[in-house]
Amino acid sequence: LGSDLTTLGLNLNSSKSLYSTFSSPWADGPSKSEPQFQIPACYYM
């Protein structure tokens, strides 16, 4: 019967991307370290 996928520690209703706080396939919740972010090259002076 599979399993209840809502109990895997991912907020499937989130309006934001899950990948930015995805720390590991075996973590029970989002990463506590800073999320993934991209700084465009033009931000560097």
Binding site for another protein (CB under 8 A): 1-5, 8-10, 12, 14, 17-20, 22-27, 33-45
Name the one residue in this structure whose structure tokens are 């309006």.
15
Residue 21 CB neighbour total at 10 angstroms: 19
Q: Shortest distance, CB of residue 36 to another protein, whole angstroms?
A: 4
> Whole-number minimum distance, CB 28 to another protein, in Å?
10
Which residue, among 37, 16, 18, 41, has the nearest Cα to 5 in the 3D structure? 18
